[in-house]
Every structure is written in C-alpha cells, then in structure tokens.
Amino acid sequence: MSPRTFNWFKYSSPTTFYPLAGKLVPWFSTLAVILIFIALYIGFYVAPTDYKQGEGYRIIFVHVPASWMSMFIYLVMAFWAILGVIFNTRVSGMMVQALAPTGAMFTFLALWTGAFWGKPMWGTWWVWDARLTSELILFFLYIGYIALHSSIDDKRRADRATAILILVGVVNIPIIYYSVEWWNTLHQGASISVKSGSSMASTMLIAILIMTLGFWAYSIAVALARVRSVILERERDTHWVSELAEIKR
C-alpha cells in the first residue's frame, strides 16, 4: 500500500476524521456565505428581466440549484453507503446520517420554490407532473431514511439497514433528471445541457452556477459540522472522546 493510499484510509476512523472536519468547516462556511451573496446579487439585481416570465422567473436562481443539490446529495449518500457496505467503515454511515437532513432541506426548498413559480406560471401550486412527483418521492426517501435510522437503536445495524434503502432509491435520480424527456410534462425542459449548452443569458447562467457552488459549500460545511456531533454521540464511551471532553473543560 502506497503512503498516499494509507493517508486517505486513515481518515476512515472517527478519531482522525473528527479534527479534519473541524478544520474544514470554517473554510467552507465562509465560502458558502460569499458565493451565495454574490449569486443573489447577480440574480436579483444584475440579471435582466425575462421577456416571457417577467420578474417572477428570478426564483430559478434558488430553485434550480436547490433541485440539483437535492439529487447530488442523494448520490453522495449512496456513495458513502457503498463504501460502508464494502469496507465496513464507521465514518461512512456517520456521513450518510449527517448528509440526510441537508438533502431533505434542499428537496423541500426545490418543491417549495417550484410551487411559488408554478402558481403565476401554471395557475396552480401543484400538479402531478412527472418531474414534481419524482422529486416528491425523493423527499419521501430522505424522510424515510431519517425515520428508519432513528428507529433502530444499534446505529451500526441502522447504517446497514438504511444503506439498502438508499441504494434502491438511487433509481429515482435518473427518473427525476430525464422525466421531462421521457414523458409529456408541464415542467419545462432543461435550460442547461452538456450536449446543447445553455439557452439562457450568460448573466443568468453565471448566477445559477455560483449559487450552486454556494449551496455545495454550504452542504459540505453543514454536513461536516453535523458529522462531528454524530461522531461524539456514537463514540461517547471511547477513551479519546473522554480525553477531548477533559481538554475542553
């Protein structure tokens, strides 16, 4: 095993991962505040008014990045769940537990802002559209994970049980993404595509991408802060946590 590989694997232990997370939280928190502020300023004060939707379209600067993050965080949870199943690392399950509330929050934000956009554009707060329905299913997957994990006292067993739920639920992610192509839906198609590029103004695109990076930095900061709490809770009976408590006193 090379030294580089060894250095990566040593952080699979809560003892070494805990201080690393503590060092990274302030950096990502600061980055998140800066990026989100810049994105909001560009989106609400610099980006031009849409010629069809008027000022109401500006909610996309929150809605679209939140939608992307809701799917991305679930995939990251699935990645950690796979690592936990294959390597049986304790930090993997802790990271999944730490990420779930943030993923649920972004999914709810995507649904909520989508409803606010849909009312003036579609004339209704909600329709059983393929994109909306599959996004709602994603929200239920997050809530289901949190509920199931909380109901099992043995957290190591809870990690293994909920890993199955997470991995099965991954099939919903491509359904969300491709729903507007597979079915005839009210939801508009993607304005940003890897193949065809972007159909929106460059200022709008920049604001959305910066907001996405801001949400990404926020997710990392919150997940790392939360995983530190999870580590202390699960490792409270270990010697190193007792020593840490003594030092803080």
Q: How far apart are CA 244 and CA 141, in angstroms?
A: 36
Give strand pairing partners of 36: none
Q: Are 42 and 34 in contact (CB under 8 A)?
A: no
Give CA–CA dist 55/239, Å, rounded.
Answer: 58
Domain ranges of the chain: 53-192+222-248
pTM: 0.88
1-57 pLDDT, tens digit per residue, is 444 444 566 767 888 899 999 999 999 999 999 999 999 999 999 988 776 676 767
Task: Identify the pLDDT of residue 210.
Answer: 97
Four-CA torsion 85, 168, 220, 58, nearest 10 degrees: 170
Q: What DSSP state is assigned to residue 59?
A: G
Q: What is the mean pLDDT of residues 80-108?
A: 95
| pLDDT tens-digit series, residues 60-92 | 999 999 999 999 999 999 999 999 999 888 899
And the tokens for 140? Answer: 């239920």
Whether the per-residue pLDDT at 194 is higher than 50: the answer is: no
The answer on pLDDT for 188 being more than 60 is no
Phi/psi of residue 198, nearest 5 degrees: -115, 140
Q: Given pLDDT bands bounded at 50, 70 and 90, which one contains residue 220?
A: very high
Q: Is the dihedral of CA 188, 193, 195, 200 positive or negative?
A: positive
The per-residue pLDDT for 189 is: 54
H-type helices in 10-154, by residue range? 14-41, 60-87, 90-122, 130-151
Comparing 30-44, 101-115, 152-166, 227-241, the range with the smallest average pLDDT is 227-241
pLDDT at 145 over 60: yes
> How much is the pLDDT for 28?
98
Q: What average pLDDT does the segment 183-188 reach?
A: 57
